[in-house]
Amino acid sequence: MMPIPFIKMSGAGNDFILIDNRKAVVADSDMALFVSKVCRRKMSAGADGLILIEDSDAADFKWRFYNADGSIAEMCGNGARCAARFAFLNGIAGRQMRFETLAGIIHAHVLEECVRVKMTDPHSFSLDVELSVLGQTVRCGCVNTGVPHAVVNVDDIEAVDVATMGRAIRFHEHFAPAGTNVNFVAGDPQGMWSARTYERGVEDETLACGTGMAAVALILAAQSAVTAPVLLKTRSGSVLKIHFVRQGEIFSDLFLEGDARIIYDGCLNPEAWQY
């Protein structure tokens, strides 16, 4: 197999390998194994996920999005911003575009390094879920912003053991069989909200999660803690802006805005996935 050209991008610290696959440069066989191999840190290019950009009959392009473990995800907000800028820079789409995902058609607007994407309409709200986790009672709000998320309010964002608590909630029987992503959020004296996320599929804390920050903003709004637009500081230090319209208990016109940075480009040699 020949080397595969790719670009490494980062959206608020969530990093991705992006490949123009319109000419089928990546074979469909054993995709989960291929993705898990090239997303390995230190052993390969390393990333939180891999995105294939492909032709579409319904939009400017379509993507196939894979988590680092090779599993398929319906939607990823940070990945969507990176995919949009990738498509614009490579002449695949204009500054305003539409692309296919498993969560539906996503609209995006490339500003420069900053990209705004229209998320799918949120659904499956549940504002007071009580769980027994690691010998304690945890209350969380839940919403699907393209993928399922649980949101837990905490007093001290730095004190949270995201890996341990996040994993326990992610695999809790309440969310079986698919599981959920888990977000922890806290405010600070300066009025800024900070959030940390345990991502399903990565199976660890990531530096940012776009659909997670959208979920956090909506749960905070439903708790009457914030109004749109909401600024959220991610673990990477980047700030994401979430826009939405609220009419009573109904949320719509959900947009995620933030950076989509090019880190480097190169070629994946077969040794990147053969060991």
List, by residue number, the catalytic residues: 76, 209
Q: Which two tokens stand for residue 122?
A: 């949120």
- Cα–Cα distance, 4 to 43 (Å, whole number): 17
Identity of the amino acid at 72 = I
Q: Which two tokens stand for residue 107?
A: 């609209």
Residues 6+ apart with CB under 8 A from 176: none
Report which of 209, 210, 207, 195 is spatially closest to residue 158, judged by C-alpha positions. 195
Identity of the amino acid at 93 = A
* Rg of the chain in Å (alpha carbons): 18
Residue 224 gets the label, from left (phi > 0), alpha (psi -120 to 50) or beta, of left
Report which of 20, 37, 27 is spatially closest to residue 2, judged by C-alpha positions. 27
Distances (CA, A) of 258 to 99, 269, 270: 18, 31, 33
Contact 234, 242 (CB under 8 A): no
Element (H, E) at 146: none
Identity of the amino acid at 153 = N
